[in-house]
Structure 1
């Protein structure tokens, strides 16, 4: 790792929960249950006003203004969502007789404008695809200009929508379709992004690993005046893995309610070392594999050319991949059953319809729970993979980590079930987690082209043979081979080293290498890649100790304990006290006593 001595600010996020709440004016304690209720009242006002605003603005003229980026006077729209909404006259409406502060209105308009700006790209893509769509064949023509290019995965989804619309309209082709013609207004979640407001609504202070948030909350579900909005001081603990980090700025959190109560989604800026990409001589290539989340291999640039030992590291997901596949199958089964009951309820008598609707509600609840569990496992899987891949790159003294460009990566040729399972893996979340953990040690993560990485030889750039099946690769010309994913990792690392002088920076995304250059990678005799760390498994039950035999007594037969399960592992402690997850929760010992004393009954 080549450190230039410079540092850069990096923003990261984490989550925490409050353990104490008091009234800012009187200092009287507020129960956490009462705090959740008051936050829920504010979130109901924000989500209701945001949904009503999005439904009013769900028209083509809205996206025309956002794509143009100018108001009626030709002035450029500001980046702040609430300022742009005020200039365009987009104001939310609240129920009659309800008073909402102007700072809360800022939060509503900022969230609504952010959603509409994200959908403006989809509106442009749908318009371009509908102009090239043929209702008779159900296919789209090839793009003629670079501006008409749309990622293949998104294009397939739009084609399905256009095909369904053509069936409903008896094959009549529309001249120009917009997103408002094929999609309904988006459903937003109940949350409050306090970063859009100023100190009159909320402000934050951090002292001694404790974060104090002062926020204005309503005292009734329908406040009628300013007096029914009072300041509340909420105290939460900073996760232990952030105590030793050089954090320069703390940002206002986003308020969210889940089944456990109030959740604070926070963000902060910290100083991280900056590595010189141009002087990097060692790179680690990460290949996304259909069998596991990913695999990695190392390539090194020497005066004699590129070398590699063609040995790699395959990530062990500890059985989480099998659990995700089971949960995905269960969620799809619940979805099919709920859809079937919905069709039956449409033509059923009123008494039977009520019973079917009750069953549908239970199925939807179970499906939501399965989705939440899948999200947690995906997040744990992504950060566990990122931590192991970062440690592998640090041991290899690499300056670059090359990952495949996910916009050009498609899963095909493995059957309907396996393609769907691979497409729903946590690859994008793993990329974000990898960039997060690698930046802490000064390693840059770049995106490289994915085409041909596992099909071409790193030495001669010719197609590889598969003598042992799909996961085996061999080049008869260069006499090199091994695991298919490891060969792909060498190719990705080679592309990162050859294109390190032509990196395209992208705002909000990973720096990208657009062109895949080729140079032969020679197989070296000495070992280049480090030996990956393996967690040791422990037993679930220990065998009973063998007692000394006594004369004249028949000893009992002791049955040894079964082998340890892959779910019970002793995880090695990562460096710097980071557990590999952004929401590592602190020890609940000090907070539990306070919570039990202040939580209302």
Structure 2
């Protein structure tokens, strides 16, 4: 309706009848595209107005001037501004001048092959559950044209589309108008649904879970809580949980390398075809066919990467939410790594750090945690891996506990009174959780992204956010009690050997436990493994790997404490299966 208020009408071809509700859908979709283009135009105009002397490195004053020129400078991620800066710098390198506006930097945006039914009313589209099986199926009734050029109202006829609901849609959820998309000749429906949930609280949390991003171990986290004292202290049980997706990340890295090689070959073929056209020659048909095949292969690899990243993000979101529910936490604290820039760590490591799907993780964990009334708060990441969570002394980082060479995996506190030594990620999640619990009153709602954020850190509060470990006292205070002898333990040595012609030495075997061997080996006995190990596959199962049989389809996680153990479920999303399975 915004376009109608602005007086921007829609022109219908002569002799074609289009209902006003269909026109409203087209206007809604056009309004969304224009809103996005207008935001990009404002960001580009602010960058051009405050263009720095060195685009690669802005000074502190240049950053402040850029933030002031933006309509909502604090909400725009630095990664977005850096990407737009590189785009403008590339245009300047090609044309030896700055662009006038965003229209010179990028082509016109496309509307996309989709129909947003949320802009229509019930006279055009209705969605309801199927009366025969309301828990598994739904019916969409939509008025569609019977011919390419409908001339009257009679050419529009209602069409019923019966489709299966995803298994994670609750039975009591209210279905909303979907969005129709066409992909590879198939009609896809994005069906939103609404259900009554508890409202996440901005502050007032006593128990929380915090997670730190990693490269090899994707997520490391644990539980923290505030004591009931007059001056609350942050306490943790020092029992970390891990989400290891090494196989999935390795598969994503292989797909990335494959896509880069295909892109290089496409650029080479385009150069050859362009050179022939510039010389007045016809393009080689073989080169044109090869270019089309490579572009199709690049699109296919891109879709595989998208599916794999989405499955990984959903699995990580369920892992974090399940541990929050089991711990009784009311908030999940994550660090804000949208602006992380991987520099100086080598080409391979820089690329792996930049390709991590951190934004999708936050989106999925917000959606899943909201169903249980759990808040998700983004915490500033400055100094979370630099200082000791117990005494806030600056860490000394080295490669391993037994290797004192400079590195980043292990951290040791130089404070003699503390002496805390742990992994870098273990220390980081404790600092993240402590910072979130002590800065609850500074939590704000970012209306642009719809998430709770803590934008600044108060130094005085950060110093009080030391973490104390609550562990069971195992100090020996008396003699060890006599333990009963197990029933299977032999109480006498072996009998002496016989004295016949085939005499054997006897009486040398001491009393001990009789070795036992399994009498029956199950089919999966050879593939038994712990939650943090990858077993050797017995045979390849491309249709869905089980636990221990497969490589890139697994994300091994710490089992949720307090929940009954269960066998790993098969993933409903192609590309991943793990112990904590996402829907």
So what's the TM-score if we normalise by structure 2? 0.73
- Cα separation, 2, equivalents of 1:570 and 1:162: 40
Q: 2:451 aligns with which of 483, 505, 510?
A: 510
Q: Does 1:126 align with 2:123?
A: no
Q: Is the 8 A contact 1:499 1:515 kept in 2?
A: no
**Whose helix proportion is higher, 1 or 2?**
1
Equivalent residue for 1:280?
A: 205
- Cα separation, 2, equivalents of 1:162 and 1:536: 47
Q: 1:295 aligns with which of 220, 227, 230?
A: 220
Structure 2's unaligned 5+ residue stretches are 400-406, 474-529, 540-547, 575-583
Equivalent residue runs for 1:104-119 within 5 Å: 104-119=22-37
Paired residue secondary structure (2:276): coil
Q: 1:471 aligns with which of 409, 412, 415?
A: 409
Aligned-pair CA distance for 1:384: 0.8
- Cα separation, 2, equivalents of 1:377 and 1:570: 12
- Cα separation, 1, equivalents of 2:110 and 2:139: 31
In 2 relative to 1, CA 382–190 (structure 1 residues): closer, same or farther, beyond 3 Å? Answer: same
In 2 relative to 1, CA 191–432 (structure 1 residues): closer, same or farther, beyond 3 Å? Answer: same
Equivalent residue runs for 1:534-545 within 5 Å: 534=531, 540-541=537-538
Equivalent residue runs for 1:98-177 within 5 Å: 98-134=16-52, 141-144=62-65, 146-148=67-69, 149=73, 151-171=77-97, 177=100
Total equivalences in the alignment:
473
In 2 relative to 1, CA 373–475 (structure 1 residues): closer, same or farther, beyond 3 Å? Answer: same
- Cα separation, 1, equivalents of 2:378 and 2:432: 9
Post-superposition Cα deviations, 1:38-76, rounded to whole Å, max 9, x if no partner, equal: xxxxxxxxxxxxxxxxxxxxxxxxxxxxxxxxxxxxxxx
Q: Which moved more, 1:307-316 or 1:90-99?
A: 90-99
Paired residue secondary structure (1:271): coil
- Cα separation, 1, equivalents of 2:212 and 2:115: 37
Equivalent residue for 2:471?
A: 526
In 2 relative to 1, CA 538–86 (structure 1 residues): closer, same or farther, beyond 3 Å? Answer: same
Aligned-pair CA distance for 1:578: 13
In 2 relative to 1, CA 415–152 (structure 1 residues): closer, same or farther, beyond 3 Å? Answer: farther
Q: Is the 8 A contact 1:193 1:253 kept in 2?
A: yes
Aligned-pair CA distance for 1:145: 7.0
Q: 2:5 aligns with which of 67, 81, 87?
A: 87
Q: Does 1:391 align with 2:322?
A: yes
Aligned-pair CA distance for 1:581: 8.6
Equivalent residue for 2:440?
A: 500
Aligned-pair CA distance for 1:146: 4.4
Post-superposition Cα deviations, 1:427-476, rounded to whole Å, max 9, x if no partner, equal: 11111111122223332111111122122222333321113231111212
Q: Is the 8 A contact 2:25 2:119 kept in 1?
A: yes
Aligned-pair CA distance for 1:373: 0.8
Greater RCO (CA < 8 Å, at least 6 residues apart): 1
Aligned-pair CA distance for 1:185: 1.1
- Cα separation, 2, equivalents of 1:136 and 1:523: 46
Equivalent residue for 2:272?
A: 344
- Cα separation, 2, equivalents of 1:224 and 1:135: 60
Equivalent residue for 2:167?
A: 240
Higher gyration radius (CA) = 2
Aligned-pair CA distance for 1:383: 0.9
Q: Is the 8 A contact 1:536 1:570 kept in 2?
A: no
Equivalent residue for 1:486?
A: 426
Structure 1's unaligned 5+ residue stretches are 1-82, 543-562, 585-601
Q: Is the 8 A contact 1:387 1:580 kept in 2?
A: no
Q: Is the 8 A contact 1:455 1:464 kept in 2?
A: yes
Aligned-pair CA distance for 1:579: 7.8
Equivalent residue runs for 1:46-61 within 5 Å: none
In 2 relative to 1, CA 127–420 (structure 1 residues): closer, same or farther, beyond 3 Å? Answer: same
- Cα separation, 2, equivalents of 1:462 and 1:340: 54
- Cα separation, 1, equivalents of 2:305 and 2:219: 18
Q: Is the 8 A contact 1:408 1:449 kept in 2?
A: no
Aligned-pair CA distance for 1:540: 4.8
Equivalent residue runs for 1:163-562 within 5 Å: 163-171=89-97, 177-207=100-130, 208-209=134-135, 210-244=137-171, 246-247=172-173, 249-259=174-184, 261-274=186-199, 276=201, 278-302=203-227, 303=229, 305-317=233-245, 319-348=247-276, 350-468=281-399, 469-477=407-415, 478-507=418-447, 508-516=449-457, 517-518=461-462, 519-526=464-471, 534=531, 540-541=537-538
Aligned-pair CA distance for 1:582: 9.6
Post-superposition Cα deviations, 1:285-317, rounded to whole Å, max 9, x if no partner, equal: 121213343221332212361123444222122
Aligned-pair CA distance for 1:241: 2.8
Q: Is the 8 A contact 2:243 2:555 kept in 1?
A: no
Aligned-pair CA distance for 1:483: 1.6
- Cα separation, 2, equivalents of 1:261 and 1:521: 55
- Cα separation, 2, equivalents of 1:406 and 1:538: 33
